[in-house]
């Protein structure tokens, strides 16, 4: 099995150009916005490297990129009811759409946390460190890690409930 870094390099080499071309059309040629969307898409792919195969990742990547563009459009145009997107011939999207949407909502809720709370959650849950390892990495006492984690998870739960994400 390839490492996360190997998969990301393969995804980047194979899909960065086509994704950028696709997203540029969606954002009316705004190169900086397109670059941001592509980077966020590849960051999310890195988080799911164990589920993606670089040669078959197109439906997942294009769906995430399109959803990021739509989300950005909605944030900028709160009154808009429809997003004008040109139809594109893409392979059919797999059943992972719901998973991708939940992941996006979790990432959005995570970004809403304070930086201190967010870093603790990332260390403990995304990097899978113990409390002691996270404390050492962050340079704070283990009790502070536990406290921040408690409040961060509570804030995350509340934020996700506001977004309509509930436990399965």
Domain count, the chain: 2
Give residue 163's Cα distance to chain centre.
Answer: 16
Can you give the residue range of the structural domain that contains 132?
A: 112-162
Give the domain CATH number at 133.
1.10.10.10
Domain closes at, from 76, 101, 125 = 76
- On whether both 69 and 125 belong to a single domain, the answer is no
pLDDT band at 139 (very low <50, low <70, confident <90, very high): very high
End-to-end CA distance of the chain: give it in Å, rounded. Answer: 30
pLDDT digits over 3-46, tens only? 767 777 887 888 888 888 998 998 888 889 889 898 888 888 87
CA distance 137 to 13: 31
Give the domain CATH number at 26.
1.10.1740
- Give domain status of residue 32, yes or no: yes
pTM: 0.44
């Amino acid at each position: 099995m390839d490492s996360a870094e190997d998969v990301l390099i393969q995804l980047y080499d194979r899909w960065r150009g086509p994704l950028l071309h696709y997203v540029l059309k969606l954002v009316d040629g705004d190169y900086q916005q397109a670059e941001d969307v592509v980077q966020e898409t590849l960051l999310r792919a890195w988080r799911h490297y164990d589920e993606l195969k670089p040669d078959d990742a197109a439906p997942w990547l294009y769906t995430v990129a399109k959803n990021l563009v739509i989300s950005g459009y909605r944030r900028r145009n709160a009154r808009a009811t429809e997003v004008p997107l040109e139809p594109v011939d893409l392979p059919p999207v797999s059943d992972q759409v719901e998973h991708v949407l939940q992941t996006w909502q979790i990432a959005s809720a995570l970004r809403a946390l304070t930086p201190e709370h967010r870093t603790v959650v990332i260390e403990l849950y995304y990097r899978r460190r113990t409390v002691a390892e996270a404390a050492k990495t962050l340079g704070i006492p283990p009790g502070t890690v536990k406290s921040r984690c408690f409040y961060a998870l509570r804030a995350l739960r509340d934020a996700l409930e506001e977004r309509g994400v509930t436990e399965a």
